[in-house]
Amino acid sequence: MLISQKIEAEFNNQIGNELGNSHQYLAIAAYFEKEGLFGLAKIYAKQADEEREHAMKFVKFILDAGGTPRYPAIPEPRNSFSSAIDAAQLAYDSEVRTTDQIYALVELALSERNHIAHNFLQWFVSEQLEEVSSADTRLNVIRRAGPNVLMVEAYLAHT
C-alpha cells in the first residue's frame, strides 16, 4: 500500500467532510430556490456537485494507493437560514474550514514523507484558493445588495 493507515483514515475522514459540504450546499441551494432566487440556487447546487466530485477524488486516490475507501456518516446539514447573507456566510465559513482540513492533510503527508499523497493534495490546495475566493465574492455581493437580494439575481444574469 502506498499510504499509511493513518493517511488512509484521514483521507477517508475527508471523504465525509467533502460529502458533508455537498449536502450543506444542497441545503443552501434549496433555501435560495424556496426564496425564488434561482440564480443563487443554481450556483449552490453546482457547488454541491463539485464537493461530491472532490470526495470522489479522494475515493479514487485511496483505491489507486491500495487502500480501502470508507464512507463515514454525514451529519445533517443546517437547513434553515435567517437571510441570504446567513446562507452565504455559512458557505464561506465551510470553505475556510475545508482549507484548514486540506492543510492538515498536507502536513500529515509531509510528516510521513509521503510524496505521492503530498502531490495529490496539491490540486486541493489550489482548488481551495478558488473556492474561498468565490465564496467570499458571493458573500460580498450579497452583503452589498442588503435586503434587496433580487439585485444579486440581476447581477448574476449579467455576469
CA–CA dist 110, 42 (Å, integer): 38
CA–CA dist 39, 108 (Å, integer): 39
Helix (H, G, I), strand (E, B) or coil at 70: coil
Question: What is the value of pTM for the model shown?
Answer: 0.95
First to last CA, the chain: 47
What's the pLDDT tens digit per position in 22-56?
999 999 999 999 999 999 999 999 999 999 999 99
Helix (H, G, I), strand (E, B) or coil at 82: coil
> What does each C-alpha distance from 46 to 65, 106, 130 come to in angstroms?
29, 26, 14
> What percentage of the chain carries pLDDT values higher than 90?
91
Q: Which domains does the chain have, with CATH numbers?
A: 5-157 (1.20.1260.10)
**Residue 64 banded pLDDT, cuts 50, 70, 90:** very high
What's the pLDDT tens digit per position in 82-115?
999 999 999 999 999 999 999 999 999 999 999 9
